[in-house]
Amino acid sequence: MASKAVYLNGSYMPLAEAKISVLDRGFLFGDGVYEVIPAYYGKLFRLDDHLQRLENSLAAIRLTNPHSRDQWQAIFAPLLAADKNQYIYLQITRGVAPKRDHAFPANVAPTVFVMCSDILPFADTDTGIAAVTMDDSRWKLCHAKAITLLANILHRQAALDQGSAEAILVKDGYVTEGAASNVFVVLDGVLVTPPKGNAILPGITRDVLLELAEKNSVAWREDAISVAQLNCASEIWVTSSTREIIAVVELDGVKVGEGVPGPLWHTMNGLLQAYKQSLL
Ligand code: PDD
């Protein structure tokens, strides 16, 4: 398969030939969901978990999953390369309706798009990043991986504009997550992350880290994190499928801990890398 091939509604084609209608509800309304699934040397990472989350996102927006697990795997396979790290991006929208109308269209097939991109080495894994806190302006469907990402984009860009790499979002005095990541902190030696609910995306990387912490006797808990706790955490990390675990070494212009990725970050990053290796 040519390296820039993508999948659109049943066919593979070069990226430049993949076209959708301007009446697609993804384009008009942001009416759709997506997934980002890493693949290490051709092996999809935690595929079942990603497909389960896709199922949950589709249920949240009242769309039927157009494919079975096996069909999805068959769609992804030709896009993957065995010699590098990549991620699958898949998007499903409510399809192309005959006219623009907020109400769901009847008898319209969803649009299914899949592409695959390289995961490049992260320049800031060893150094960590700066982050800024900001008021979480999002809605009550953050548990669904909706393509409607305007608030997340504005948060991320506001962080970049301030010379930071990520926004850490705060709702009613408590941390929710990053603009495109989950948040972990270390409080009195214990790893803490906010509980699941409609205020955060249930990150797959987040779940993997909690599993690894449990298996390796690293103390952890799911708990609300106040801004005061965030500000006195000895370590802060953000996690995602494409960036794995990145330490936040500066928050709102103030050093976190020693201003370098902390000891628990090293432990958990080591465990994550070993776990990835074990699946190859
Ligand atoms: N985003 N929270 C939000 C808002 C996210 O957008 C993401 C990931 C996560 C982490 O989830 P996971 O560990 O399953 O990747 C949490 C992806 C990578 C993206 O939008 O590109």
How far is residue 218's CA from residue 264's CA, in Å, rounded to a whole number? 9
- 145 part of the active site: yes
2 pLDDT tier (thresholds 50, 70, 90) = very low
Q: Is 204 in the pocket of ligand 1 (CB under 6 A)?
A: yes
Is pLDDT of 124 > 90? no
Q: Are 136 and 145 in contact (CB under 8 A)?
A: no
How far is residue 69's CA from residue 114's CA, in Å, rounded to a whole number? 15
Q: Is 164 in the pocket of ligand 1 (CB under 6 A)?
A: no
Closest by alpha carbon to 237, among 275, 225, 228, 154?
Answer: 225
Q: Using most ligand atoms within 8 A of CB, pick from 143, 238, 240 the residue to mutate for ligand 1.
A: 240
Is pLDDT of 122 > 90? no
Residue at token pair 């659109």: 8
Packing angle, helices 47-60 and 69-76, rounded to 10: 120
pLDDT given at position 125 = 85
User: Is 42 in a helix, a strand, or coil?
Assistant: coil
What number does CATH give the domain 129-278?
Answer: 3.20.10.10
How far is residue 250's CA from residue 124's CA, in Å, rounded to a whole number? 13
Residue type, 127: T
Residue by residue, DSSP assigns 182-196 as EEEEEETTEEEEPPP
pLDDT given at position 178 = 98
Over the stretch 35-67, which tens digit does the pLDDT of each residue have?
Answer: 999 999 999 999 999 999 999 999 999 999 999
Tell me, yes or no, if the two domains 5-118 and 129-278 fold the same way. Answer: no
Over the stretch 265-279, which tens digit does the pLDDT of each residue have?
Answer: 999 999 999 999 999
Average pLDDT, integer, range 167-180: 98
Over the stretch 219-272, which tens digit does the pLDDT of each residue have?
Answer: 999 999 999 999 999 999 999 999 999 999 999 999 999 999 999 999 999 999
The H-or-E segment that residue 247 falls in is strand 244-251
End-to-end CA distance of the chain: 22
pTM of the model: 0.97
Q: Which atom of ligand 1 is nearest to the CA of 206?
A: 13
Q: What percent of the chain has pLDDT over 90?
A: 96
Is pLDDT of 1 > 70? no
pLDDT given at position 121 = 84
What Rg do the C-alpha atoms of the chain give, in angstroms?
19
- Whole-number mean pLDDT of the chain? 97
Q: Is 180 in the pocket of ligand 1 (CB under 6 A)?
A: yes
Average pLDDT, integer, range 124-142: 96
Go through 177-198 and write b for each residue having 16 or more CB atoms within 10 A of its CB, e for each that does not: bbbbbbbbbbbeeebbbbeeee
How far is residue 186's CA from residue 205's CA, in Å, rounded to a whole number? 17
Residue ranges of the alpha helices (H) in 37-102?
Answer: 47-60, 69-76
Is pLDDT of 76 > 60? yes
**Nearest residue CA, atom 2 of ligand 1?**
181
Closest by alpha carbon to 206, among 182, 179, 178?
Answer: 182
How far is residue 92's CA from residue 99's CA, in Å, rounded to a whole number? 19
What number does CATH give the domain 5-118?
Answer: 3.30.470.10
Over the stretch 80-117, which tens digit does the pLDDT of each residue have?
Answer: 999 999 999 999 999 999 999 999 999 999 999 999 99
Catalytic site residue from 4, 19, 145, 255: 145
Structure-model confidence comparison of residues 240 and 120, the more confident one: 240
**What are the extents of the domains in the chain?**
5-118, 129-278
